[in-house]
């Protein structure tokens, strides 16, 4: 999409009701498959493509993946613009980095979730990787979304690699304190993460605790495997739900469409916030 500066932040924080983001882990699928999956997801209604993973995501692989997805979306947008019944805007979905560190950046992305892993015990994930990456991000001219990233139990690979002091399912007050901190730092997005492939998603009580703090856009991911789980997250106050593993597990395009349609059906739940 090659957006104008500021577009990605506006898109992510827009108050337009619940939306779905597809996570593409470049370490877990080749670039053609990544582009195909992104294209189908956007066609079904996904409104953000996140690119990143905790391991096996060097710059060149991330860059190749972002480029392939952008090219596929550009082609689809162009085709729609030539078709009187086509909707070009449907394909203008930002491709946004969700990096494991300063080694996973690409100028082909439209933006980046510029994250502090708030419950990491390692300064690397609190501030050092960000300082290392900032000059590249400035040079690339990509948009930044100031993001607090909070990893809940079980936490999975990101909990281990990011040395997170995991938030347990009954620690609602701790989540609220982190949400307040994120807000006081000026972060615009708070991402509540259970870990990719988690056997249970984030406890809805924890989402509600974060929702209590006004002004933050809430993203929830990890272990969301069907429309019912998505509904529970939306009812608790999530603005965005993220799925990765579910899509990676689909064997063919029919299964991919079914999985996406099920997840997207959960978005029509009413938020209690």
Q: Where on the chain is the footprint of ligand 1GP (CB under 6 A)?
A: 23, 193, 196-198, 221-224, 242-246
**Please, which residue, 42 or 198, has the CB nearer to ligand 1GP?**
198
Strand 19-24 relative to strand 189-193, pairing: unpaired
- Distance, in Å, from the CA atom of 85 to the CA atom of 88, rounded to the nearest integer, reads 10
State the minimum distance, in angstroms, from the CB of residue 151 to ligand 1GP.
9
**Please, which residue, 22 or 77, has the CB nearer to ligand 1GP?**
22
State the minimum distance, in angstroms, from the CB of residue 23 to ligand 1GP.
5
Helix, strand, or coil here: 84?
A: coil
As given in the structure block, the two tokens for residue 254 are 């029919």
State the minimum distance, in angstroms, from the CB of residue 135 to ligand 1GP.
26
State the minimum distance, in angstroms, from the CB of residue 5 to ligand 1GP.
26
State the minimum distance, in angstroms, from the CB of residue 10 to ligand 1GP.
23
Q: Is the peptide bond before 189 cis (omega within 30 degrees of 0)?
A: no
**Please, which residue, 77 or 98, has the CB nearer to ligand 1GP?**
98
**Please, which residue, 73 or 198, has the CB nearer to ligand 1GP?**
198
Rg (alpha carbons) of the chain, rounded to whole number: 17
Cβ atoms of residues 22 and 48 within 8 Å: yes
As given in the structure block, the two tokens for residue 109 are 């992305």
**Please, which residue, 144 or 245, has the CB nearer to ligand 1GP?**
245
- Distance, in Å, from the CA atom of 102 to the CA atom of 259, rounded to the nearest integer, reads 32
Adjacent-strand bridge partners of 120? 164
- Distance, in Å, from the CA atom of 26 to the CA atom of 63, rounded to the nearest integer, reads 9
State the minimum distance, in angstroms, from the CB of residue 222 to ligand 1GP.
4
**Please, which residue, 218 or 224, has the CB nearer to ligand 1GP?**
224
Closest C-alpha to 182, from 244, 118, 239, 108: 118
- Distance, in Å, from the CA atom of 109 to the CA atom of 233, rounded to the nearest integer, reads 28
Helix, strand, or coil here: 85?
A: coil
Q: Which residue is nearest to ligand 1GP (CB)?
A: 221
* Phi, psi angle pair for 23, to nearest 5°: -95, 120
**Please, which residue, 92 or 98, has the CB nearer to ligand 1GP?**
98
State the minimum distance, in angstroms, from the CB of residue 88 to ligand 1GP.
29
**Please, which residue, 42 or 76, has the CB nearer to ligand 1GP?**
42
- Distance, in Å, from the CA atom of 249 to the CA atom of 239, rounded to the nearest integer, reads 25
State the minimum distance, in angstroms, from the CB of residue 228 to ligand 1GP.
15
∠ at Cα 12 (5, 36), nearest 5°?
Answer: 90
């Amino acid at each position: 999409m090659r957006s104008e500066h500021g577009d990605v932040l506006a898109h992510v924080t827009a108050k337009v009701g619940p939306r779905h983001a597809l996570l593409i882990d470049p370490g877990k699928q080749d670039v053609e498959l990544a582009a195909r999956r992104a294209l189908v997801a956007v066609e079904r209604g996904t409104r953000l493509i996140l690119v990143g993973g905790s391991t096996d995501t060097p710059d060149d692989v991330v860059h190749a993946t972002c480029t392939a997805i952008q090219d596929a979306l550009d082609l689809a947008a162009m085709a729609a613009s030539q078709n009187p019944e086509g909707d070009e805007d449907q394909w203008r979905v930002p491709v946004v980095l969700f990096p494991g560190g300063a080694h996973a950046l690409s100028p082909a992305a439209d933006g980046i979730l510029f994250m502090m892993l708030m419950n990491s015990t390692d300064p690397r994930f609190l501030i050092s990787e960000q300082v290392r990456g900032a000059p590249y991000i400035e040079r690339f001219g990509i948009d930044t979304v100031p993001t607090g990233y909070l990893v809940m139990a079980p936490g999975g690979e990101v909990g281990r690699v990011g040395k997170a002091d995991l938030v347990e399912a009954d620690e609602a007050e701790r989540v609220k304190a982190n949400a307040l901190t994120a807000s006081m730092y000026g972060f615009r997005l708070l991402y509540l993460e259970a870990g990719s492939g988690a056997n249970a998603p984030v406890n809805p009580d924890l989402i509600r605790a974060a929702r209590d703090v006004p002004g933050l856009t809430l993203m929830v991911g990890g272990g969301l495997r069907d429309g019912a789980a998505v509904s529970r997250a939306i009812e608790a106050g999530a603005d965005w739900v993220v799925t990765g593993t579910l899509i990676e597990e689909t064997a063919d395009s029919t299964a991919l469409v079914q999985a996406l349609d099920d997840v997207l059906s959960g978005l029509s739940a009413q938020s209690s916030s």
